[in-house]
Amino acid sequence: MDFNILSSLATKSKSKVLLVVLDGLGGLPGEQGLTALEAAETPNMNKVAEYGECGFHDPVSPGITPGSGPAHIGLFGYAPFKYNIGRGVLDTAGTPFVFEPGDLAARLNFATLAADGTISDRRAGRISDEEGKRVVKKLSEKITEIDGVKLLLQHVKEYRAAAIFRGAELDGKLCDSDPQKVGLKPLEVKPLTDEPDPKAELGAKLANEFIRQAKEVLKDEPKANFLMMRGFDVYDPLPNFSTMYKWTATAVAAYPMYKGVAKLAGMNVIERGQNTIEEEVQIVEDIWNETDFVFLHIKKTDSAGEDGNMSKKIEVIEHFDRVLPRLLALKPDVLCITGDHSTPCTMKSHSWHPVPICINSAVNRIDNVKKFGERDFMQGGLGRIHSTDVMPLLLAHAGRLKKYGA
């Protein structure tokens, strides 16, 4: 769907839309022959399905397993292949850091370097948030620019931080310095471009010089005596989700990356504590009157899937189901419950399988689905849609899209 056309059809309204993303929701049958979603007892979600319209969405393209970035970008209506955001920008966007167009961002992992010059711990003993912040502060005081290019450092979480070069013409097509395995030496950052590219060459030069200087600053640290750079990416602003759809949009998410992707899209992001599902729901209740659209992100369905922990994934889904009545009490005009991608416990990873989606509004078609579950949803009225069709559908159900053409 062309953004210019979609935006030209979008119109203001008092209707409210709640998009709930249970991360990694879709699954595959486990030993008992059921998926986590099929096995979970979800009386409240089932009611939403019974009066809603159900089906599946393909996050990026059939067969393609998405990272969290492209999966959310698609759900927000952006073509995932066109708007591909690198890890450096994605991770940093979840912090209070404010990007400027053209910034070259990279993710930093603090690490432990052994005396022989090899990496002995790729996470510096998983140092605490406090330790991570202290080390970032130490670096920030010593290194503020490299070769005249401004360097900004931002702590993200524990051993993770971000480095941002600002004020030069830079390209993010650069390889990681992380060798991905302990016992290996860190790699030199090099351009990945097919043709010689001065912007990428300058980026590589700055990165390598920063790593050299950081090593010197950190040399007496017991654990975080080194750092690695990965996920280089230049920040290029996305079309603004709020402007485009002509509403105020708010994101409620526990994890920085999801706050990040929402912020990149132009949503208001709630920064205060939202570590449990209850805390997240409390925030949704608190802000409900001040926003038209809420993106509520529940992380732990995905974590359980990645751990291959079927009973935990069932538990998280049931946990969400128990708090769902509080969200229903807000009477959203449109409620959509879906995932960003599938994370089958049997695969312990993201996968390409289409993601269950249910849209519930006063104007949805009713299908025969009465229960949340992959097999049930296969009989649903939505069929198999693309993730980028979700936002236009939610806007339509909310009465927020004008007719196209005469």
For residue 389, what is the DSSP state? G
Contact 309, 318 (CB under 8 A): no
Which tokens in the block code for residue 336? 């959509």
Between 139 and 355, CB nearer to its own copies: 355
For residue 324, give Cα distances in angstroms to 5, 170, 177, 223, 268: 34, 46, 44, 43, 23
Write the single-letter amino acid at 89: V
The burial class, CB within 10 Å (0-12 / 13-18 / 19+), for 321 is buried
Between 65 and 120, CB nearer to its own copies: 65
Which residues, other chains included, contact 20 with Cβ-Cβ below 8 Å and sequence gap of 6+? Answer: 296, 298, 320, 327, 335, 336, 337, 338
Nearest-angstrom CA–CA distance, 196 and 189: 15
Between 268 and 364, CB nearer to its own copies: 364
CB of 405 to its own copies, least distance (A): 4
CB of 184 to its own copies, least distance (A): 21
CB of 142 to its own copies, least distance (A): 29
Between 186 and 392, CB nearer to its own copies: 392
Which tokens in the block code for residue 289? 């009157």
Between 54 and 251, CB nearer to its own copies: 54
Between 125 and 399, CB nearer to its own copies: 399
CB of 65 to its own copies, least distance (A): 5
For 242-258, the DSSP string reads HHHHTS-EEEEESSHHH
Which tokens in the block code for residue 371? 């229960």
Binding interface with its own copies (CB under 8 A): 1-2, 5, 9, 28-29, 33, 56, 60-70, 80-81, 84-87, 90-91, 231, 344, 346-347, 349-354, 363, 365-368, 374-375, 378-385, 389, 391-396, 401-406
CB of 183 to its own copies, least distance (A): 23
CB of 257 to its own copies, least distance (A): 8
Nearest-angstrom CA–CA distance, 136 and 126: 15
CB of 324 to its own copies, least distance (A): 24
CB of 179 to its own copies, least distance (A): 18
Which residues, other chains included, contact 323 with Cβ-Cβ below 8 Å and sequence gap of 6+? Answer: 277, 278, 281
Between 112 and 301, CB nearer to its own copies: 301
Q: What are phi and psi of 343, to 5 degrees?
A: -135, 85
Between 75 and 395, CB nearer to its own copies: 395
